């Protein structure tokens, strides 16, 4: 990720008042120096515990509720549409839930698709517990086996990063949509540590422990140039003023995919972008192959644009 700070509302369970955040930073500043082992354990706990989702709770359409085993996780999965229809998978981000992707369901059903959405490991009905990006990627692989093949997938935020990692690992799709994707896990940990005033020593100890847990180095995850081997049409949608994952991440990622298109949005932020009607229409059209006249910016400005 870029040097801009990622909001803890998206990256950790830290949701504090200004005073609470000041005290937490002071605590980590002192503990990082005096008790680095304790600081590492507590930083890791914050880093791997998704915040509680407080958005929409009801499913968008009547759906079949199922359970899929993915490693140690029992994924809560919903599916709508004819069983024989081509499948589209929806992958929500950190701190979200499958229902967060609700606006995409009906337009895809109307185009004849079967739509699958789910609660990521550590989220919603899938349960609590520490999780990391490899858990999210493993969930996508498991769902491909049980509910695939999928012709397309839509991922948001860290769910988009998991989707990119799964594609690099061989997940078969015909089209893919990334909404506000991050480009680097290592940069994310640096931003996380700076935000909470965790020392570089503790940050690196946390990283090494997570790498051992998953037997996967952050540098391996960050090899985004491997997306160049994914030769499918890809749509990137990102808000110009996203304060959690800057649009520069989409530009870095899309540069590695020869068949990538980018839609830049304005004023929708990191989450409202999933609910905007123009974005939903563009994503559904892209998945259906109706992408000849897709815009490059949304919401569309009037022509000619007014002077301010």
Residue at 298 is within a domain = no
> Which domain CATH number covers 16?
3.40.50.1820
> Within 13 Å of residue 134, how many CA atoms lie on the same side as its CB?
14
Residue at 1 is within a domain = no
Residue at 258 is within a domain = yes
Which tokens go with 258? Answer: 């020869």
3-state secondary structure of 74: strand
Question: pLDDT digit of tens for each residue in the chain (308 aa)?
Answer: 332 333 443 444 444 468 889 999 999 999 999 999 999 999 999 999 999 898 888 888 999 999 999 999 999 999 999 999 999 999 999 999 999 999 999 999 999 999 999 999 999 999 888 999 999 999 999 999 999 999 999 999 999 999 999 999 999 999 999 999 999 999 999 999 999 999 999 999 999 999 999 999 999 999 999 999 999 999 999 999 999 999 999 999 999 999 999 999 999 999 999 999 999 999 999 999 998 889 999 986 655 555 54
CA distance 265 to 131: 30
CA distance 188 to 184: 6
* Alpha helices for the chain (secondary structure H): 8-11, 18-34, 36-48, 105-110, 133-147, 158-168, 185-196, 200-214, 218-221, 248-254, 277-287
Residue at 303 is within a domain = no
Dihedral sign from CA coordinates of 214, 215, 219, 225 = negative
Residue at 30 is within a domain = yes
Residue 260's φ and ψ, nearest 5 degrees, are -90, 145
Residue at 299 is within a domain = no
What pTM, to 2 d.p., does this model score?
A: 0.90
Q: Considering its fold, how many domains does the chain have in total?
A: 1
Residue at 143 is within a domain = yes
Q: Are 261 and 25 in contact (CB under 8 A)?
A: no
Query: 173 is in which domain, residue-wise?
Result: 8-53+65-291
Residue at 92 is within a domain = yes
């Amino acid at each position: 990720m870029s040097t801009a700070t990622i909001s803890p509302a998206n990256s950790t369970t830290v949701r504090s008042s200004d005073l609470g955040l000041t005290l937490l930073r002071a605590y980590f500043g002192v503990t990082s120096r005096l008790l680095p082992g304790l600081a590492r354990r507590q930083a890791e706990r914050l880093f791997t515990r998704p915040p509680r989702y407080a958005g929409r709770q009801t499913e968008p359409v009547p759906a079949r509720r199922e359970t899929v085993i993915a490693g140690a996780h029992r994924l809560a999965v919903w599916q709508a549409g004819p069983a024989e229809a081509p499948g589209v998978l929806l992958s929500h981000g950190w701190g979200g839930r499958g229902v967060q992707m609700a606006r995409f369901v009906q337009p895809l059903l109307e185009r004849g698709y079967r739509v699958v959405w789910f609660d990521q490991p550590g989220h919603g009905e899938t349960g609590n517990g520490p999780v990391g990006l490899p858990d999210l990627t493993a969930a996508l692989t498991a769902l491909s086996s049980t509910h695939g093949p999928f012709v397309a997938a839509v991922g948001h935020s860290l769910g988009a990063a998991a989707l990119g990692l799964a594609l690099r690992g061989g997940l078969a799709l015909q089209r893919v949509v990334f909404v506000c994707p991050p480009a680097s896990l290592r940069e994310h940990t640096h931003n996380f540590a700076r935000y909470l005033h965790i020392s570089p020593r503790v940050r690196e100890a946390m990283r090494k422990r997570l790498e051992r847990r998953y037997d996967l180095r952050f540098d391996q995850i960050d090899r985004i140039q491997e997306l160049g081997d994914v030769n499918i049409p890809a749509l990137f949608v990102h808000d110009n003023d996203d304060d959690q994952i800057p649009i520069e991440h989409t530009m870095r990622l899309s540069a590695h995919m020869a068949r990538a298109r980018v839609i830049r949005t304005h004023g929708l932020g990191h989450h409202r972008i999933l609910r905007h009607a123009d974005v939903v229409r563009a994503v559904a059209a892209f998945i259906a192959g109706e992408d000849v006249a897709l815009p490059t910016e949304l919401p569309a400005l009037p022509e000619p644009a007014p002077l301010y």
